[in-house]
Amino acid sequence: MTVIERDFGKKTRQTIRRFGELLCLDALHEANIRANPVPYLERASERIFQLERALFEAAQVVAPPEDSSPPGELVQVDKAEYERLLRCREIVEKALAEYARDEEF
């Protein structure tokens, strides 16, 4: 006895639902996404551009200054805050490395 698998469009609906969730849309947009995806793809493209810009701005802040300016003021932060900032820096550097690797392909 064989079982014929049929999803009745379930994968397509899940993909559309996931796409809507990533764009922070409610369930009312699902039919519109299926009927006319171009505006939603443009919105996703704009969001990707904004995230890339934020990533590059964060990387520029993390990078040491190119000129030999004198060191700035000393600021005291607690250890937990310093470790959090170091983790943020690692995340930005990792994301930039992944972006550069993806751009090579």
Domain borders along the chain are: 10-61+77-104
- Predicted confidence at residue 105, as pLDDT, reads 62
Q: Do 63 and 49 contact (CB within 8 A), yes or no? A: no
How many other β-carbons are positioned within 10 Å of the β-carbon of residue 16?
Answer: 19
Structure tokens at 14: 């899940």
- Cite the beta strand spans of 1-105 per DSSP E: none
pLDDT in tens, 60-70: 887 776 766 66
pLDDT at 27: 80
pLDDT tens-place string over residues 14-65: 999 998 888 888 888 888 888 898 999 999 999 889 988 998 888 888 777 6
User: What CA–CA distance (Å, rounded) separates 105 from 101?
Assistant: 7
pTM of the full structure: 0.63
